[in-house]
Structure 1
Amino acid sequence: MKVGLLRAVGVATAVYGVAVAALPDLLARPSGLADAQGRTASATRTALRPLAWRDAVSGLAMTLAPEGPALRTAAYVRIAADFGDAVLLGATLPGRGRKLSAVAVSVGWGALSVAGLLADRRQWGSGVMRSVEVGPLRVRR
């Protein structure tokens, strides 16, 4: 597990979640949920705020959870949320470009958490990967 990467994802997620909870337009506009004048309907802002709080709290959990099972569990929750977002937003947002962007962003954040969970610190030194084991293969750099 790469704790530093998981903590960084947690901080970024928590900050973004708080920002969107305060200003739902930060998510509504790029997602195509605002009108032609860039205004977000009150009902849309209301619907986005719980999503934002979920991100804030799950990010905070990744930031503060003790290393080990608690941090792993927080990362699993974050991964499930990100991949769930990719599926749901990809299926429901208006416009192909917005759908693709939402899927790319959601999968990207989820993949960072997956990488943080799968990384073995013994295989990393000074931020540069030394070796990777894939099944019976071992690749050295």
Structure 2
Amino acid sequence: MRTARLRIQGAATFAYGIATAYRPALLARPAGLVDAYGEVTPHTALVLRSMAWRDAAVGLAMVLAPQGPALTAAGAVRIASDVGDALFFGRALRGRLRRAGAVVSALGWAAVTVAGLAAGPGRPVRA
């Protein structure tokens, strides 16, 4: 397990989750989840904020969980969330390019987490 890699990914996930919860357009616009004027509707913002808050919580768990089963569980939740995002966004978004982008992005993050969990320990740090 590459603990440092998982913690950095967790911190990035936490930051993106908080930013998206505050400003849902960060996810809505690239995904095409906006109205004809390019604005995020209140209902869409509500759902995206909920999803972003989930990501922030998972990211924080990856940062704070002790190495071992707790960090593995946090990583597994991240993987499950990313696979779910790939499945649902990949089926529901309008436009082949948006669907493909969502699937590649979500599965890419899942793969990074799998790699962090599956990798052997990193090189020791020398003082």
Q: Deviations over 1:83-104 (max 9, x none)?
A: 1101110011111110000011
Residue 45 in structure 1 maps to residue 74 in structure 2: no
Q: Deviations over 1:60-107 (max 9, x none)?
A: 000100001100000000000011101110011111110000011100
Corresponding residue for residue 82 of structure 1: 82
Corresponding residue for residue 119 of structure 1: 119
> How many Å separate the matches in 2 of 1:95 and 1:36?
15
Extract unaligned runs of 5+ from structure 1.
127-141
Deviation at 1:14, TM superposition (A): 0.5
Corresponding residue for residue 58 of structure 1: 58
> How many Å separate the matches in 1 of 2:9 and 2:34?
27
The structure carrying a bigger strand percent of its residues is 1
Corresponding residue for residue 30 of structure 2: 30
Extract unaligned runs of 5+ from structure 2.
none
Match of 2:53, as an amino acid? W
- TM normalised by structure 2 equals 0.94
- TM normalised by structure 1 equals 0.85
Fraction of identical pairs, as percent: 52
CA-based RMSD? 1.1
> How many Å separate the matches in 1 of 2:43 and 2:84?
22
Residues paired across the two proteins, number? 124
Corresponding residue for residue 92 of structure 1: 92
Match of 2:15, as an amino acid? V
Deviation at 1:53, TM superposition (A): 0.3
Greater Rg, structure 1 or structure 2? 1
Corresponding residue for residue 139 of structure 1: none
> How many Å separate the matches in 2 of 1:9 and 1:125?
18
Greater shift, 48-57 or 34-43, is seen at 34-43
Q: Which runs of 4+ in 1 moved over 6 A?
A: none
Higher RCO, Cα 8 Å, sep 6+: 2
Match of 1:46, as an amino acid? L
Deviation at 1:38, TM superposition (A): 1.4
